[in-house]
Protein backbone atom coordinates (compact mmCIF):
# COMPACT_ATOMS: atom_id res chain seq x y z
CA UNK A 1 0.00 0.00 0.00
CA UNK A 2 2.88 2.38 0.69
CA UNK A 3 3.82 1.96 -2.97
CA UNK A 4 0.38 3.15 -4.03
CA UNK A 5 0.55 6.10 -1.67
CA UNK A 6 3.96 7.02 -3.06
CA UNK A 7 2.59 6.76 -6.60
CA UNK A 8 -0.22 9.19 -5.80
CA UNK A 9 2.24 11.66 -4.27
CA UNK A 10 4.71 11.23 -7.14
CA UNK A 11 1.98 11.81 -9.74
CA UNK A 12 0.81 14.93 -7.91
CA UNK A 13 4.36 16.30 -7.82
CA UNK A 14 4.96 15.40 -11.47
CA UNK A 15 1.76 17.06 -12.56
CA UNK A 16 2.37 20.14 -10.47
CA UNK A 17 5.96 20.67 -11.51
CA UNK A 18 5.41 19.67 -15.17
CA UNK A 19 8.08 18.57 -17.58
CA UNK A 20 9.27 22.03 -18.59
CA UNK A 21 11.23 23.17 -15.56
CA UNK A 22 10.31 24.31 -12.10
CA UNK A 23 7.57 26.93 -11.66
CA UNK A 24 10.15 29.66 -10.96
CA UNK A 25 12.14 28.73 -14.08
CA UNK A 26 9.00 28.88 -16.21
CA UNK A 27 8.00 32.23 -14.69
CA UNK A 28 11.52 33.47 -15.44
CA UNK A 29 11.28 32.47 -19.11
CA UNK A 30 7.85 34.07 -19.44
CA UNK A 31 9.14 37.28 -17.86
CA UNK A 32 12.10 37.33 -20.27
CA UNK A 33 9.84 36.96 -23.31
CA UNK A 34 7.38 39.61 -22.10
CA UNK A 35 10.21 42.00 -21.34
CA UNK A 36 11.55 41.47 -24.88
CA UNK A 37 8.06 42.22 -26.26
CA UNK A 38 7.73 45.38 -24.17
CA UNK A 39 11.23 46.59 -25.18
CA UNK A 40 10.29 46.14 -28.85
CA UNK A 41 7.11 48.12 -28.18
CA UNK A 42 9.04 50.93 -26.48
CA UNK A 43 11.61 50.98 -29.29
CA UNK A 44 8.96 50.93 -32.04
CA UNK A 45 10.22 47.70 -33.62
CA UNK A 46 7.20 46.17 -35.40
CA UNK A 47 9.12 43.20 -36.84
CA UNK A 48 10.19 42.08 -33.37
CA UNK A 49 6.68 42.68 -32.02
CA UNK A 50 5.11 40.54 -34.74
CA UNK A 51 7.70 37.80 -34.22
CA UNK A 52 6.66 37.67 -30.57
CA UNK A 53 2.99 37.07 -31.40
CA UNK A 54 1.38 33.62 -31.48
CA UNK A 55 0.51 32.60 -35.08
CA UNK A 56 -3.26 32.77 -34.53
CA UNK A 57 -3.00 36.20 -32.88
CA UNK A 58 -0.87 37.50 -35.73
CA UNK A 59 -3.31 36.06 -38.28
CA UNK A 60 -6.30 37.63 -36.53
CA UNK A 61 -4.55 41.00 -36.39
CA UNK A 62 -3.74 40.90 -40.12
CA UNK A 63 -7.27 39.81 -41.07
CA UNK A 64 -8.91 42.50 -38.92
CA UNK A 65 -6.59 45.27 -40.19
CA UNK A 66 -6.46 43.87 -43.75
CA UNK A 67 -2.76 44.56 -43.87
CA UNK A 68 0.56 43.02 -42.82
CA UNK A 69 1.25 42.58 -39.12
CA UNK A 70 4.21 44.97 -39.20
CA UNK A 71 1.90 47.77 -40.37
CA UNK A 72 -1.12 46.82 -38.31
CA UNK A 73 0.52 46.43 -34.92
CA UNK A 74 1.58 50.06 -34.72
CA UNK A 75 -2.05 51.11 -35.09
CA UNK A 76 -3.35 49.06 -32.16
CA UNK A 77 -2.59 51.57 -29.44
CA UNK A 78 -0.83 49.10 -27.20
CA UNK A 79 0.07 50.92 -23.96
CA UNK A 80 3.56 51.37 -22.56
CA UNK A 81 3.24 48.63 -20.00
CA UNK A 82 5.83 49.47 -17.35
CA UNK A 83 7.32 47.03 -14.87
CA UNK A 84 6.17 43.46 -14.32
CA UNK A 85 3.94 43.14 -11.26
CA UNK A 86 2.99 39.44 -11.28
CA UNK A 87 3.41 36.35 -13.44
CA UNK A 88 1.05 33.33 -13.45
CA UNK A 89 2.01 30.21 -15.34
CA UNK A 90 -0.26 27.16 -15.60
CA UNK A 91 0.77 24.42 -18.02
CA UNK A 92 1.25 25.99 -21.44
CA UNK A 93 -0.53 29.26 -20.59
CA UNK A 94 0.66 32.38 -18.81
CA UNK A 95 -0.56 35.80 -17.72
CA UNK A 96 1.74 38.71 -16.98
CA UNK A 97 0.31 41.70 -15.16
CA UNK A 98 2.35 44.86 -15.77
CA UNK A 99 1.90 48.37 -14.41
CA UNK A 100 -0.27 49.56 -17.31
CA UNK A 101 -1.12 46.38 -19.26
CA UNK A 102 -1.86 42.69 -18.97
CA UNK A 103 -0.40 40.24 -21.50
CA UNK A 104 -1.37 36.59 -22.10
CA UNK A 105 1.09 34.09 -23.55
CA UNK A 106 1.17 30.46 -24.71
CA UNK A 107 4.12 28.09 -24.92
CA UNK A 108 5.43 27.11 -28.35
CA UNK A 109 8.46 25.09 -29.42
CA UNK A 110 10.52 28.27 -29.88
CA UNK A 111 9.43 29.94 -26.65
CA UNK A 112 6.48 31.81 -25.14
CA UNK A 113 4.40 33.80 -27.63
CA UNK A 114 1.91 36.57 -26.94
CA UNK A 115 -1.68 35.45 -27.50
CA UNK A 116 -3.26 38.68 -26.26
CA UNK A 117 -1.99 42.14 -25.26
CA UNK A 118 -3.43 45.50 -24.31
CA UNK A 119 -5.84 43.67 -21.99
CA UNK A 120 -8.08 45.23 -19.35
CA UNK A 121 -9.97 43.18 -16.75
CA UNK A 122 -13.77 43.12 -16.76
CA UNK A 123 -15.84 41.79 -13.86
CA UNK A 124 -17.19 38.25 -14.46
CA UNK A 125 -16.00 38.33 -18.08
CA UNK A 126 -12.81 37.65 -20.05
CA UNK A 127 -10.27 40.46 -20.35
CA UNK A 128 -10.93 42.99 -23.11
CA UNK A 129 -7.83 43.01 -25.31
CA UNK A 130 -6.54 45.26 -28.09
CA UNK A 131 -5.04 42.26 -29.90
CA UNK A 132 -5.94 38.60 -29.42
CA UNK A 133 -6.51 35.44 -31.42
CA UNK A 134 -9.89 34.80 -33.01
Partner 1 sequence: MSAAPETREGTAPIGRRVRLFLRHNSLGLFFVTAFLLALSGQAVAGHAEFNNQLVADGLEPIGFGAYLTTSDFGVDVMENWQSEYLQFFLYIFGTVYLLQRGSPESKELGRAGIESDQDQMVGEHAADDSPRWAAATGWRTAVYSRSLGLVMGTIFLLSFLAQSVTGVAAYNEQQLRQLQAPVSWSAYLSSADFWSRTLQNWQSELLAVASMAVLAIYLRQRGSPESKPVGASHSATGVEG
Q: Would you tell me which residues interact with partner 1 (CB under 8 A)?
A: 1, 4-5, 8-9, 11-12, 14-20, 54-57, 59, 88, 90-95, 104, 106-109, 115-116, 119, 121, 125-127, 129, 132-134
- Residue placing its CB nearer to partner 1 in the complex, 14 or 42: 14
CB of 6 to partner 1, least distance (A): 10
Q: 85, 93, 92, 71: which is closest to 38 by C-alpha? A: 85
- Residue placing its CB nearer to partner 1 in the complex, 84 or 106: 106
Q: How many C-beta neighbours within 10 Å does residue 38 have? A: 23
CB of 38 to partner 1, least distance (A): 19
CB of 24 to partner 1, least distance (A): 15
CB of 44 to partner 1, least distance (A): 26
Give every strand in the sheet of 111-122, ordered side by side. Answer: 84-90, 93-98, 102-108, 111-122, 125-132
- Residue placing its CB nearer to partner 1 in the complex, 49 or 129: 129
- Residue placing its CB nearer to partner 1 in the complex, 41 or 95: 95
Amino acid sequence: MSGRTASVAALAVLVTVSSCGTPSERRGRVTEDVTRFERALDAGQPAQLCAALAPSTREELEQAAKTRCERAIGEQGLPRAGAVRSVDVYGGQARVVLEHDTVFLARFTDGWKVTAAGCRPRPQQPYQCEIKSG
